[in-house]
Structure 1
Amino acid sequence: MVLNEWFWWDRLWLPRPVMWADLQDSEGRDYARVSHLYITLPVAVLLLAIFKNQGEGVAMVKHLVSLESPECALYWTSRIKTLDWSERQVKRWFRSQRNQDRPGLLKKFKEASWRLAFYLCSCFGGVLALYDKPWFYDLREVWAGFPKQSLLDSQYWYYIIEMSFYGSLLFRVAADVKRKDFKEQLVHHWATLTLLSFSWCANYIRIGTLVMLVHDTSDVLLEVRESDKQ
């Protein structure tokens, strides 16, 4: 109990003279609550399910264009013969193409394409949530009335979906293809989730939404590069 009171000490989270009692829902104002974050768990599970279905769809498309397909193999065999290649050259070419479809590469492709799809949707959703807000154009508005800033529905869902996504990445990190930057990736996911939770609890919602938009925009470029490598 003492630890809980110390953790939620007003001076640790809020500027003077504001106290938690001042951030109670009233007069049409709604404020961020820790209890709001419980929904991130089922949403994270939903995102994991979407990732699984998306991955199966990518695998199906990959198989249809794969050289394992008899029709495709027959077509390319006829084309290669017109190039006057030897049997050894043909086998070497087929082997190199099969190696491109090995499970590791396909799995990396699914993971990178899923993250890219999310970041693109997140950027689009972030712009929709912020384009009509004054703090999107004037950063001084970010702190107007802070911390007594009412929570908007668009901000709520923007935060919930972002936090759920990073929660789902943490759930999947052990199952994903292990990358060279595995440790850095793990720290990144934990740090992002922790910072989002802190900004939510301390009602840094406005600045948090701007940071998320910039963060996801840069991640789009990173995932495009990652997808090109596959």
Structure 2
Amino acid sequence: MEDLREASYNFFWAESFWLPNNYSWTELKNKDDGLYRAQFRDLSVAIYLSVIISIIRIFFERCIFAPIGHSFGLKSVVKKAPTNPILEKAFKEKKSPSNETIQRLSKQTDLTVRQIQRWFRVRRNQDRTPVFKKFCESSWRGFFYFVIFWYGVYMHLDKSWFYDSRLCWKGWPHHHVPNDIYWYYMVEFAFYISLLASLFTDNKRKDFTEMIVHHVATLLLMGMSWANNFVRIGTLVLLVHDAVDSWMEVSIVQF
């Protein structure tokens, strides 16, 4: 079993795949030259940071974005349809019944056609994510993307590869990682960990599976780029995505 585990490890981290010819992983280890190089174990820092980010998110949603949402007239309580086994059974068969079905249900329940139409309308809205909830969640994500984007722009102003992308490849894999780049990457990685975890606590939406795939793919790409020191191009990719993500979050909530 130990031999199989070692063989799998060597296969996955094959130097012939990840690194240029005649290079080994030992060359990416930190030396006594005062320059830091990305190490795969660094990503464990992001796990602890994700907990902190999740706590900050709770504070912002409850203390800042929730009062703003209430000031816009958004309601946090969803109106629920009265319990009615006959109508509930019909709802499971078809959420928007035909006029013939409504007439039949009216005779079975002694309710008027208008009352049944109202019941189905309320019942459909009951399963939807409340606009207030979407507002708080999107506001947090939009706020984070806005802040991290402009921090990323500021941080890149003194980085040579920001002005000449060819430097993302020149000298690789011997690029060192400045302290600000290190924390920029860790915070971004931690944020996507928190997003992945929050999918299981937030109201489940239609794109639940797609978002899991998206966040996992993002974490894998960031993790692999960090592991083989493709950090320079990684920061530029993050910067480009963050530039539009805040605007996309604003467009999600429609009043």
Deviations 1:20-74 (A, max 9, x none): 1112212222111111111111110111111111111222344466599xxxxxx
- TM-score, normalisation: structure 1: 0.79
Corresponding position of 2:48: 42
Report the Cα distance in structure 2 between the residues aligned to 1:104 and 1:178, rounded to whole angstroms.
11
1:15 has 2:41 as partner? no
Corresponding position of 1:31: 37
Deviations 1:109-136 (A, max 9, x none): 1100000000001101111221111111
Q: One-letter code of the match for 1:171?
A: A
Relative distance call for 1:139 and 1:103 in structure 2 (3 A) is closer
Is the contact made by 1:104 and 1:177 (CA closer than 8 Å) also made in structure 2? no
Corresponding position of 1:78: none
Q: Which runs of 5+ in 2 are unaligned?
A: 1-5, 76-124
Give the C-alpha shift of residue 107 in structure 1.
Answer: 1.0
Report the Cα distance in structure 2 between the residues aligned to 1:141 and 1:65, rounded to whole angstroms.
48
1:162 has 2:169 as partner? no
Give the C-alpha shift of residue 213 in structure 1.
Answer: 0.3
Equivalent pairs counted in the alignment come to 197
1:210 has 2:236 as partner? yes
Q: One-letter code of the match for 1:11?
A: S
1:52 has 2:58 as partner? yes
Relative distance call for 1:220 and 1:106 in structure 2 (3 A) is same
Q: Which runs of 5+ in 1 are unaligned?
A: 69-98
Corresponding position of 1:172: 198
SS at match of 2:248: helix
Corresponding position of 1:147: 173
Report the Cα distance in structure 2 between the residues aligned to 1:64 and 1:114, rounded to whole angstroms.
17
Corresponding position of 1:91: none
Name which one, 1 or 2, has greater alpha-carbon Rg: 2
Relative distance call for 1:225 and 1:103 in structure 2 (3 A) is closer
Is the contact made by 2:141 and 2:249 (CA closer than 8 Å) also made in structure 1? yes
Q: One-letter code of the match for 1:59?
A: A
Give the C-alpha shift of residue 180 in structure 1.
Answer: 2.9
SS at match of 2:190: helix
SS at match of 1:144: coil
Corresponding position of 1:82: none
Is the contact made by 1:108 and 1:177 (CA closer than 8 Å) also made in structure 2? no
Report the Cα distance in structure 2 between the residues aligned to 1:114 and 1:61, rounded to whole angstroms.
12
- TM-score, normalisation: structure 2: 0.72
